Structure 1
Amino acid sequence: MKKRLAILGAGESGVGAAQLALKEGYDVFVSDRSKIKEKYKSVLTGLKVEWEEETHSEDRILSSDEIIKSPGIPDTAPLIKKAHEKGTPVISEIEFAARYSKAHFTCITGSNGKTTTTLMIYHLYQKAGLDVGLAGNIGQSFAKQVAEGDREYFVLELSSFQLDGMFDFKADIAVLLNITPDHLDRYEYKMENYVASKMRILQNMDKNGAFIYWADDEFIPNAMKNYSIEAKCYPFSDTQELKEGASLNKIKEKLQININNQTFEMSIHDLALQGKHNLYNSMASGISGRILDLRKELIRESLSDFQNIEHRLEHVTNVHGIEFINDSKATNVNSTWYALESMGKPTVWIVGGVDKGNDYSMLFELVKDKVKAIICLGNDNQKIVDAFGDKVGAIQQAKTAREAVTKAYELATKGDAVLLSPACASFDLFENYEDRGHQFKTAVRSL
């Protein structure tokens, strides 16, 4: 008799999971509480999978042998609670797909920087000629890719929500970039719960695995004391000299990676992405390459010619000597801290949107040092005005991307930068952060 599988959520991961489950002989039912996008409906219909939208047929779902749920559905959802009470396994698409993949997994998580680092490592592996796929919290569904043809390597970006639904999965190389308060509403507003979620990237790793982590993080080194870690540990730091791992030689201004008594060096000025946070991303990527014994010259090339993703510290253009930078993906204060920290010019900062309970105090010193004026882009900007009113020369308000760009351009002078790094969600004025970034770029190019 076929094993019955219910898939909750008919987005990229859910539809990919359905495709793989069919291939592996499951009886598949897909259910989504929201309306399913037409492109996914047509895929499901083409697969002859039974599906429903704008409802959950609880009896049908709870009679399944196993449930795959979208990362967006919290464990506290009533249907998930009922499944747990019944003893029905509830897993993520990543957990499911990994059962059917023989690949070597390099997995990246962290509160900030994981997308950039994932793409950087993927770029490095591609350049080395490895048979590699890119999946997880980015790009095409992991399950879909496994269904269509397994790879020798997968680089997986993993959110805490995905990690929460992973139990038997084992990373070969695990990268933990940082842990800062985020998504605490999903973790009973307890930081220790969120930290434990991120540390799940270590589960099932053995002595053949490698764990790459930021040695200067506020939470990671302390959390590691609570785990029996069999994997080989490779820390990275710009403040400590490390016998093994990656560190910064401040005198030579070089990134240094020491692994198996071999040293790799590279000038930090040759890195494609500048700024302290991108140094960390480059360190983690370089370590992963050296663990696989990729050629030093190849790693040097990859770290120097990598192009960052859209909406993440993306150089848009220069207009009369003023640089415009799109960092719309910065939807929390910590991401914006990294953006401001990387700025080497006087900056007009565009900030605002839907505030997720932001504490702006960590930005005060950076704003005093680097920001000459602020443009608030949002419906309710009072909190930003109150926080920074006495720290910059001018604060102005805008309701559209075009208005924000025009005002920023008027306040900037040759040699300055205009930085869109909102520190907030986008839903008050835009569809999502991509829409916000695209409107910003369109407005800049129309100056």
Structure 2
Amino acid sequence: MTPLPPDYFAGKKITIMGLGHFGGQIAAIRYLLHQGAIITVTDIATEDKLKDSLELLKGLDVTYHLGGHLESDFVDADMIVVSPAVPKDSRYLKLAAQKGVSLTCEMNLFLDRCRGKVVAVTGTVGKSTTLGMIESILQAAEQTDFPALGLRKSWCGGNIGKSLLEVIADIQPNDIVALELSSFQLDDLAEIEYSPDVALLTNIYPNHLDRHGTLDNYIDAKANITRFQQPGDYLISRIGDENLEKICDLCPPQVTQWYFGEGDDANLKVRLVKHGEGHASLEYRPREGAEWEKLIDASEIYVPGEHNLFNAAGAAGTCLAIGISAATVARGLQNFKGLPDRLQLVGQYGQVRWYNDSKSTTPESGMVALKSFEPGTMIAIAGGYDKGSDLTAFGRQLAACCRITYCLGQTGPNLAATIHAAGGAVENVESLEEAVRQAAEIVQPGQVVLLSPGCASWDMFENYQHRGRIFTQAVEKYARK
């Protein structure tokens, strides 16, 4: 990767393709304006649909072409900054390429100029929670471990909805930058041939096949997290995942590979140990060939579910690779209280707990959430935008685990049919609020109501955060009665 010169953007005509609501494009606009670029924003969405993002850009010297694209914005520009959500086969991108206009994205702009040591997390399920755990550990380490390691400060951002591009000038070479990277962002990394200093892979299941086409293409995009790593870098991944093994096989030589999971494999760095009667702990090897030592008891990790113990194991291995002590890793995990929209307890009324797991946008993440609670104690709300994922196993597990499932969205009817065929109780509903209202009428003390859609949100909501807010508001409205 060859960084762009400091004054590269001054006077350049740059088109921002896709404004959206996620924040990355807004940060890119502000950064590029500060660098002296001439900015045009174009989006197929109308001004009314984008009013929240436009409000954040109020007063800035930007030209807007909304409700559709103009060819001139692509052929007469010096550069296009493309939203990850824009399809790669867009005819406007093809026009720009034919004219020799360079294409980039917000994350590539950031990584091109980031001076810090980068730690990145990806996977299909659990990457946001795992990054949150890493952030908690890094915060715990700043006062205790960082001085001895020659480190100054930690930063956290990426696909969690927080761009670091605007603060890039503040990031120093002795800082740690922790990022969540999506398959879309990783796909774009090939353009700059970049991989992070420490890479963590949580798991790989079929996902975003509407974008990538095949599982192999999806895996190939994810593989960019290690494909360009350098000697001395680290790759941490869960042992026994066949799809992850395909990525690990692409890891360059002289990159250290560590694993987390269960068992006693010689390559394991952190492992989950089950001691019986519901007791479990995480253990680690201080060095190769050493005896296992206790890292933390499972009861000290606040977020529920065995899957979160594996998330904690991955986060621990990543931070151990940085050089952070096991004691600090344990303290950081103890401090972590969970993230919004990820098995978030949003209400407890009359001995009934209401959980918001709106970040569950894949059937695999939905199935993981179901395993966090006792079978038969749950009322579930599931369904949403159709990404082309196979929902059969998810539907069968809903049938087996839940008193009843309320299905909604594009996938609702097919998911309901699968649940019914598997012998489960199910009902289709028109809205999330209606699902909450009906659940509140039948739920019993000691039971759980779980929003874990297993599908994306785009058919009915702006994003998964919007879906989570609507659920939480509905819980406030109906569950308090």
Q: TM-score, structure 1 length as denominator?
A: 0.89
**Matched position secondary structure for 1:331:** coil
What are the within-5 Å matches in structure 2 for residues 54-69 of structure 1?
Answer: 54-69=67-82
Question: How many residue pairs end up in the alignment?
Answer: 445
The one of 290, 300, 308 equivalent to 1:278 is: 308
Change (3 A) 1:34 1:405: closer
Per-residue deviation at 1:97?
1.8
The 8 Å contact of residues 241 and 248 in structure 1, kept in 2 or not, is answered as no
Change (3 A) 1:433 1:20: closer
Alignment-derived partner of residue 133 in structure 2: 120
In 1, Cα distance between equivalents of 2:286 and 2:90? 45
RMSD of equivalent CA atoms: 2.7
Higher mean alpha-carbon deviation, 34-43 vs 351-360, is at: 34-43
Alignment-derived partner of residue 71 in structure 1: 84
Per-residue deviation at 1:235?
1.3
**Matched position secondary structure for 2:394:** helix
Per-residue deviation at 1:289?
1.6
In 2, Cα distance between equivalents of 1:21 and 1:7? 10
Per-residue deviation at 1:415?
2.2
The one of 205, 210, 214 equivalent to 1:180 is: 205
Q: Specify the code of the residue in structure 2 equivalent to 1:20.
A: Y
Q: Specify the code of the residue in structure 2 equivalent to 1:255.
A: L
In 1, Cα distance between equivalents of 2:13 and 2:125? 37
Alignment-derived partner of residue 10 in structure 1: 19
What are the within-5 Å matches in structure 2 for residues 6-405 of structure 1?
Answer: 6-11=15-20, 12-35=23-46, 37-38=50-51, 40-41=53-54, 44=57, 46-129=59-142, 131-146=153-168, 149-151=170-172, 152-166=175-189, 167-187=192-212, 189-239=213-263, 241-251=265-275, 253-261=280-288, 263=293, 265-344=295-374, 346-363=377-394, 366-367=397-398, 369-378=400-409, 381-392=412-423, 394-405=425-436
Q: Deviations over 1:416-445 (max 9, x none)?
A: 212111223445554543333223223333
Q: Specify the code of the residue in structure 2 equivalent to 1:371.
A: C
In 2, Cα distance between equivalents of 1:64 and 1:285? 42
The 8 Å contact of residues 272 and 313 in structure 2, kept in 1 or not, is answered as no
Change (3 A) 1:73 1:295: same
Per-residue deviation at 1:340?
0.6
Change (3 A) 1:76 1:273: same
Per-residue deviation at 1:306?
0.8
Give the gaps of 5 or more residues in structure 1.
none
Per-residue deviation at 1:201?
1.0
Change (3 A) 1:367 1:35: closer
The 8 Å contact of residues 320 and 326 in structure 2, kept in 1 or not, is answered as yes
Higher mean alpha-carbon deviation, 66-75 vs 385-394, is at: 385-394
Alignment-derived partner of residue 149 in structure 2: none
Change (3 A) 1:363 1:242: farther
Q: Specify the code of the residue in structure 2 equivalent to 1:362.
A: A
Change (3 A) 1:15 1:441: closer
Q: TM-score, structure 2 length as denominator?
A: 0.83
The 8 Å contact of residues 90 and 165 in structure 1, kept in 2 or not, is answered as no
In 1, Cα distance between equivalents of 2:469 and 2:366? 18
The 8 Å contact of residues 118 and 198 in structure 2, kept in 1 or not, is answered as yes
In 2, Cα distance between equivalents of 1:401 and 1:168? 43
